[in-house]
Amino acid sequence: MFLQNRLVLSACLLTLSLGLEASPAHSYDFGQPAAATKATRSVEVVMGDMSFTSRAIDIKAGETVRFVLVNKGQLLHEFNLGDAAMHARHQQEMLQMQQSGMLMPTGMKAMDHGSMATMDHSSKGHGMKHDDPNSVLVEPGKTAELTWTFTKATNLEFACNIPGHYQAGMVGKLTVSQ
């Protein structure tokens, strides 16, 4: 019984510590954010409702690309760089944001601290922010940018992780070659 109680206590402390840790600096094995002035080229991606105009983008390792994101749809959309596993994790965070009332069909709503108290903050310390450097939200009729330096050859996806959008086909292939 003593050992069982210690294991339960250890699990609780580990869970609690994960939820309270400071948000670590984001790092990505496929690259990092960059200033738009460092871009070697620009790629325009038009977002419709449940579609990207580009279904595939080819990039060279070492290249810095400025993505110009134009939302011509009626809904809020996201442009997120990552692999399928990263998108699956981010979709869960976005679902929490939607369920809390922070993520609306056409935009984001500021949260008060009382609302945040009911949130599960164990998601890597992110809390209720959409501030990942590999991701940007674009409201209907708006244009945004994301500039990224790709450091190694890999296969990635660009996707909209707003609940249901990825599943409806808002995903494309991003190939980084040598």
Name the residue among 153, 162, 157 with its Cα closest to residue 172. 157
The per-residue pLDDT for range 9-62, each reduced to its tens digit, is 333 333 333 333 333 456 899 999 999 999 999 999 999 999 999 999 999 999
In a domain, 8, yes or no: no
**CATH classification of the domain holding 68:** 2.60.40.420
pTM: 0.77
Tokens read off for 41: 């080229």
Cα–Cα distances (Å) from 132 to 23, 28, 110, 158, in that order, read: 11, 11, 17, 14
Burial class (CB in 10 A: 0-12, 13-18, 19+), 19: middle
The per-residue pLDDT for range 131-142, each reduced to its tens digit, is 899 999 999 999
In a domain, 141, yes or no: yes
Provide the domain count of the chain: 1
Q: How confident is the model at residue 130 (pLDDT cuts 50, 70, 90)?
A: confident
Kindly state the average pLDDT of the residues 87-108: 94
In this prediction, residue 26 carries a pLDDT of 67
> Residue 153: pLDDT above 90?
yes
> Residue 99: pLDDT above 60?
yes
**Neighbour tally for 5: CB within 10 Å:** 9
In this prediction, residue 144 carries a pLDDT of 98
Kindly state the average pLDDT of the residues 59-68: 98
Query: Can you tell me the distance from the alpha carbon of 17 to that of 11, in angstroms, rounded to the nearest whole number?
Result: 10
The per-residue pLDDT for range 100-116, each reduced to its tens digit, is 999 999 998 864 434 43
In a domain, 27, yes or no: no
In a domain, 7, yes or no: no
In a domain, 20, yes or no: no
Kindly state the average pLDDT of the residues 66-71: 98
Query: Can you tell me the distance from the alpha carbon of 9 to that of 139, in angstroms, rounded to the nearest whole number?
Result: 45
In a domain, 2, yes or no: no
The per-residue pLDDT for range 73-82, each reduced to its tens digit, is 999 999 999 9
What region, left, alpha or beta, does residue 143 occupy, with left being phi > 0 and alpha being psi -120 to 50 degrees? beta
Query: Can you tell me the distance from the alpha carbon of 156 to that of 91, in angstroms, rounded to the nearest whole number?
Result: 16
Question: Which domain covers residue 167, as residue numbers?
Answer: 33-177
Cα–Cα distances (Å) from 141 to 73, 93, 106, in that order, read: 7, 25, 10
Cβ-based neighbours of 178, under 8 Å, separated by 6 or more: 60, 61, 153
In a domain, 17, yes or no: no
Q: How confident is the model at residue 92 (pLDDT cuts 50, 70, 90)?
A: very high
Q: How confident is the model at residue 128 (pLDDT cuts 50, 70, 90)?
A: low
Percentage, residues of the chain above pLDDT 70:
75
In a domain, 125, yes or no: yes
Residue 85's Cα: distance from chain center in Å?
Answer: 11
